Structure 1
Amino acid sequence: MQQKIVLIGGPGTGKTSVINELVKRGCFCMPEISREVTLEAKKKGIDQLFLTEPLLFSKLLLQGREKQFLEASKSNEDLVFFDRGIPDVHAYMDFFKTEYPATFFEKSNLYKYSKIFHFSPWEDIHTTDNERYESFEETIEIDRFLMKSYTDLGYCIINVPFGSLKERTDFVINSLACDL
């Protein structure tokens, strides 16, 4: 049975670095798509789609993450890693106090993941750029909403300890070893 593994956490917590390391190690991974959505909007002249049209941005993210989930399900891979999952979408909407359709939550209940690995806010590695503009304080608050969204859906969350990229990636892999 295929395992779908999600890496969650606020912005700048090291998820994508670990995903990239997993790819280097030959793992099948689905990348974070929010940067792609943001860059597509910039091509159309919208500087920060999430800030100007958060509901549209979130609908595009939801569609993209649902597509990733379905693509993973069609693959022959036993193990698929996701850089963020579907529940992240409504967690962010809750953080920004933006109303959204019930389908956001319904999709989170429809598409279930096997395991959730959480990356806590870590000030030593937190950075901002043109697509990641959240301050460290905002990252802490977003992280609370992410944890709530996943625990409300009944997920057991595995916390990834701070450490080097190798240590963190090894932790994820070793935590799955008994399941393989």
Structure 2
Amino acid sequence: MSMSPSLRIVLSGCSGGGKSTLLAELARRGHRVVEEPGRRIVIEEQESSGTALPWVDMAAFARRAVEMARADLAAVAEHPGPVFFDRGLIDAASALEHAAGIPLAQTLADGPHYASPVFLTPPWPEIHSTDAQRQLDFAAAVAEYERLLSAFPASGYAPVVLPRASVADRADLVLATLKAG
């Protein structure tokens, strides 16, 4: 039996908005989590001197992210409980549309892939930072967030924008929203 999309929960939103920290809190509370495809790809590409990096070849990066997000979904297909994803296929499809013009609906035609609602972290300049794997400056991160704000509803998902709050409060809100749904 494969996992119902209702048990696949996406955390998305602004780069540097606290998604990974929230994912770590959900893992600490005993939930299954899947790390962000983009960061894993960047690490692999940097270690192999590859060029599928968002700041070198965004289209190649987005194609890899689509493949990895699909593999992530397949890897947890038999997991009986909820799984929280740090980004996922919709994020990758949005990046692919932006970079290569491939329509979102074409990449996501075999959906739905996740539960609705999806949870978005908004731009939060006070916590945004860059590092070796996340080189998007704040303006580019906000532009990406704006694309995602359109991509999720266009793909049939209802976004819930999380407040700028403590990680514990955000985790409580995500879990309460899921229980209420």
Give TM-score, length-normalised by structure 1.
0.88
Partner of 1:39, secondary structure, is helix
- Cα drift, residue 121 of structure 1: 0.5
Q: Give the fraction of aligned pairs with identical amino acids, expressed as a percent.
A: 24
Residue 56 of structure 1 aligns with which residue? 60
- Residue 57 and residue 47 in structure 1: after superposition, are their counterparts in 2 closer, same or farther (change >3 A)? closer
- Residue 72 and residue 86 in structure 1: after superposition, are their counterparts in 2 closer, same or farther (change >3 A)? same
Residue 111 of structure 1 aligns with which residue? 111
Counting matched residue pairs gives 175
* Aligned pairs (5 A) from 1:132-147: 132-147=134-149
In 2: Cα distance, 1:148 partner to 1:109 partner: 17
Matched, 1:41 2:45: yes
Partner of 2:108, secondary structure, is helix
In 1: Cα distance, 2:161 partner to 2:170 partner: 10
In 1: Cα distance, 2:52 partner to 2:37 partner: 15
In 1: Cα distance, 2:125 partner to 2:151 partner: 23
Contact 1:35 1:131 in 2 (8 A): yes
Residue 87 of structure 1 aligns with which residue? 90
Residue 9 of structure 2 aligns with which residue? 5
Counterpart code for 2:129: T
Partner of 1:52, secondary structure, is coil
In 2: Cα distance, 1:126 partner to 1:28 partner: 25
Matched, 1:153 2:144: no
Counterpart code for 2:77: S
Once superposed, which parts of structure 1, at least 4 consecutive aligned residues long, lie more than 4 Å away?
A: none
In 2: Cα distance, 1:28 partner to 1:111 partner: 21
In 2: Cα distance, 1:108 partner to 1:47 partner: 25
Give TM-score, length-normalised by structure 2.
0.88
Unpaired runs of 5+ residues, structure 2, are: none
- Cα drift, residue 101 of structure 1: 4.3
Residue 164 of structure 2 aligns with which residue? 162
- Cα drift, residue 94 of structure 1: 4.2
CA RMSD in angstroms, aligned pairs only? 1.8
Contact 2:63 2:96 in 1 (8 A): no
- Cα drift, residue 161 of structure 1: 1.0
Partner of 2:119, secondary structure, is strand
Partner of 1:126, secondary structure, is coil
In 2: Cα distance, 1:47 partner to 1:53 partner: 6
In 2: Cα distance, 1:131 partner to 1:56 partner: 16
Contact 2:66 2:92 in 1 (8 A): yes
Give a deviation string over 1:106-156, Cα, whole Å, max 9, x none: 342323211201111011111111111111111111101011111111211
Unpaired runs of 5+ residues, structure 1, are: none
